[in-house]
Amino acid sequence: MKYLVIILVCFSVGIGTLKAQQFSEKALNDTFLNEDETVISLSEVLETYKGKTILIDIWATWCRDCIVGLPKLEALQQNFPDVAYVFISFDRSVENWKMGIEKYNLNGHHYFSKNGWKSNFAAAIDLDWIPRYIVVNSSGEISLYKAIKADDPKLIKALQE
């Protein structure tokens, strides 16, 4: 019985690891607006930066923790200039999103989630807090599934690999 419990625990841990390796089909098919307000799917966004490490930052202008964390994010951008920084906004309107990009001088690639917290993307990644950082490695696999601070040691380690 003891060995069965160990095997089940190992199997459960393996399943959790697999979940973090790639986005689900629902997440990949979810759509966003780019800065030109053209509709684009997450799979198309990821394809755009294929072969590069991607840091996805899910944020909003109304999110105090997102704004307070911006200096730490800017430090990441200085330390890891070859990373593609993809910002997905959960703002309540396109106008607020665009004003926020300008106001906070966010350098990177910007997308707006029309359905925000109710989107397939949010459900697929079990979004429960923003900011939320996800790192996709140059092979297209998720190497960090969840961080909520830009100076999280796991986030930095994922960018270094």
Q: What pLDDT, in 10s, does the model give residues 54-80?
A: 999 999 999 999 999 999 999 999 999
Q: Is the pLDDT reported for residue 114 higher than 50?
A: yes
Q: Across the beta sheet with 31-34, what order do the strands follow?
A: 39-41, 31-34, 109-112, 84-89, 54-59, 132-136, 142-147
Condensed to tens digits (0 to 9), the pLDDT of residues 82-101 reads: 999 999 999 999 999 999 99
φ/ψ bin of 86: left (φ > 0), alpha (ψ from -120 to 50), beta (otherwise): beta
CB 126 within 8 A of CB 87: no
Q: How many CB atoms lie within 10 A of CB 140?
A: 16
Q: 74 is written with which tokens? A: 């800017």
Query: Torsion angle, CA of 96/150/22/52, rounded to 10 degrees?
Result: 90
Longest dimension (CA), the chain: 60
Residue 127 has what pLDDT?
A: 94
Helices assigned H by DSSP within 30-124 = 42-48, 64-68, 70-79, 94-103, 120-124
Q: Residues with Cβ < 8 Å from 84, sequence gap 6 or more?
A: 49, 52, 53, 54, 55, 108, 109
CB 33 within 8 A of CB 112: yes
Ranges assigned E (strand) in 10-139: 31-34, 39-41, 54-59, 84-89, 109-112, 132-136
161: pLDDT confidence band, cut at 50, 70 and 90? confident
